[in-house]
Amino acid sequence: MDRLVRTRPRIVRDGDVSLFFTPGFYVDPYAAYNKIRAEPVRWVPELAAWVLTGHAEVAAALVDPRISRGSGPREGDLLTRVLSRMMLFTDPPDHTRLRALANRAFTPRRVEALRPRIAAVVGELLGGVEEGVWDLVEGLAYPLPVIVISEILSLPDRDRASFKRWSDDVIAFAASDDPNVREAALHSVGELAEYLGDLLGGLRARPDASFMSGLVQAEEEGSRLTGEELLAMAILILMNGHETTTYAIGNGMLALLRHPDQLRRLQRHASLTPPAVEEILRFDGSVQMRGVKARDDLSLGSAHIAAGDQIWLAIGATGRDPREFPKPDTFDVTRSPNRHLQFGRGPHFCIGAALARVEIELALGGVLARFRSIELGTRQIEWHEIPVFRGPKSVPLVVRHATVHAAKDRRLAEGR
């Protein structure tokens, strides 16, 4: 995996003002983005990298073949080999082949067929919530995508905790240079490879309708998907399939609570939930940064980027670019058009975008339908300090059931 992605960046300063990767940045990255927005392609010495904050510039970089996501050497120990084979960190022709396989398994029909199951999981998770203080992240935003992704990967319920631990170790390695963290990740990826070997053997003998079964079938039809590529695909699905969706649900609820007029609008008109999801992703997206590298010399805007230069694509900044979005700091659940870049663009457009949209829509829609009164239960939100992602560690809510209030309203109307 690219060192730019794995290493916690140094604090970036603008004169005497700290900009990036401070505690304040993780609370509100948009203030930092606004300080440098006038220069949408900017060289930042502390990062030894270019930082792109403009929507047009990042959109162009996402589709430019001269910019590489490649992870470097493809040989070494199992951890190195698996990470280098993740679709997210590959370039053509490997990426083209892996993407074609994933497209065959992750079809729109498969995603749409999941909608009733996702709605049922949301109902199950909300069904036992009592009135009072309830943590949205712990109670819904985290378990929902984990359950869905586990079922997509054909993981038995009893194995979810182990699979999550193994994947967490790999994710931790992606954000650290600590040799102990690397050792844990190497051990976990070995256990994960052994586990998936048995799982894939079972899917070959007894195929089902899951995503992983579709990949196995594609492999058997001669598409040359190796065992390590299957392992890399499974880890990538879990990493990007649960973490970013968890954060997006948390960010979305916070945005709604901090804009009560928009919350009330959505409560009155449930049909606005799909555009509200897009506005949540634009306004406070869970994907903030992507690390890439220039393969060849290129120009973006007025900047000349040399081959080998590192580049940070500030995806989060692009959603607030006034050149693309009128009144970018205004949260509007009816905004249209809404061409945000949270799912990328071009060949690397997120293959799980449709699934993420459905999960966010049903999660937030389920909460608004179940609870008549929703208030934020804290003045201080603690944020994950991860350069590439953005999300709250918890979102404590004070909730009251719609059914309880409806009964109370009836009693009041009847004079009882």
For 185-239, write each residue's pLDDT tens digit: 899 988 988 888 888 888 888 888 777 787 777 755 566 677 788 878 877 777 6
pLDDT in tens, 27-37: 999 999 999 99
Q: Does residue 181 have a pLDDT over 60? A: yes
Average pLDDT, the chain: 86
Question: Tell me, what's the pLDDT at 172?
Answer: 74
| Domain of 320, in residue numbers | 3-413
Least confident of 8-12, 143-147, 272-276, 405-409: 405-409
- 161's tokens: 């905790």
Average pLDDT over residues 275-289: 97
Average pLDDT over residues 334-353: 94
Q: Does residue 5 have a pLDDT over 60? A: no
DSSP string over 185-223:
HHHHHHHHHHHHHHHHHHHHHS--SSHHHHHHHHIIIII
Question: Tell me, what's the pLDDT at 4?
Answer: 39
Least confident of 104-108, 243-247, 248-252, 405-409: 405-409
Beta bridge partners of 290: 313
DSSP, res 69:
-
Average pLDDT over residues 234-262: 90
Say how far apart CA 233 and CA 185 lie, in whole Å: 16
Which residue has 């990826």 as its token pair?
A: 189
Nearest to 267 by CA among 368, 400, 184: 368
Asked if 52 and 58 touch (Cβ cutoff 8 Å), the reply is yes
Which residue has 């006034």 as its token pair?
A: 322
Nearby residues of 328 by Cβ (< 8 Å), 6 or more positions away: 319, 320, 321, 322
* Higher-scoring residue by pLDDT: 105, 144: 144
pLDDT in tens, 354-375: 999 999 999 999 999 999 899 9
Tell me which range, 40-44, 239-243, 385-389, is most confidently predicted by mean pLDDT.
40-44
Q: Does residue 74 have a pLDDT over 70? A: no
Q: Does residue 408 have a pLDDT over 80? A: no
The count of domains in the chain is: 1
Angle at which helix 143-152 crosses helix 227-238, to 10 degrees, equals 160
Least confident of 84-93, 165-174, 344-353: 165-174
